């Protein structure tokens, strides 16, 4: 891990949002030398545009939303996205911005997740399904 790392997570009421694309808020943690030094809640200006289409012809809107979300994450200086459910399109767009993606994390309080990350104990849940678009 770099000396200073920024980790962003989609949130709802202080918990990890189960569906990345529907997140209206994010939390950005700054970690320096293995310690959380800052955390900031950020409103997601791109939210509301996403429809979980799963094959009903709305993928062009979904693709545009993935681009917007990737830009939003990059513009906030994040190095890593930690999330629960996310589709391959969004993953590819985010990774193309040089941001690592950790997916399949069970929804719980984000402070618990970040401390598990710092301690090297963060585990993906293989039972969590990923979106198909």
Residue 68 and residue 50 in contact, taking contact as beta carbons nearer than 8 Å: no
Q: How many C-beta atoms lie closer than 10 Å to residue 55's C-beta?
A: 8
User: What is the tens place of the pLDDT at every residue in 46-68?
Assistant: 765 444 444 444 444 455 566 88
Report the percent of the chain where pLDDT is more than 70.
78
Q: What structural domains does the chain harbor?
A: 4-118 (3.30.420.130)
DSSP code, position 36: E
User: What is the tens place of the pLDDT at every residue in 90-129?
Assistant: 899 999 999 999 999 999 999 999 999 999 999 888 677 6
Cα separations in angstroms, 37 against 34, 76, 115: 9, 16, 12
């Amino acid at each position: 891990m770099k000396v200073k790392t920024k980790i962003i997570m989609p949130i709802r009421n202080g918990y990890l949002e189960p569906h990345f694309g529907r997140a209206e808020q994010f939390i950005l943690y700054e970690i320096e030398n293995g310690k959380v030094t800052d955390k900031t809640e950020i409103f997601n200006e791109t939210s509301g545009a996403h429809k979980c289409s799963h094959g009903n012809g709305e993928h062009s809107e979904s693709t545009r939303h993935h681009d917007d979300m990737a830009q939003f994450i990059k513009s906030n200086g994040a190095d890593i996205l930690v999330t629960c459910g996310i589709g391959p399109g969004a993953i590819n767009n985010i990774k193309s911005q040089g941001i690592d993606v950790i997916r399949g994390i069970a929804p719980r309080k984000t402070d618990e997740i970040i401390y598990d990350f710092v301690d090297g104990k963060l585990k993906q849940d293989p039972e969590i399904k990923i979106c198909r678009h």
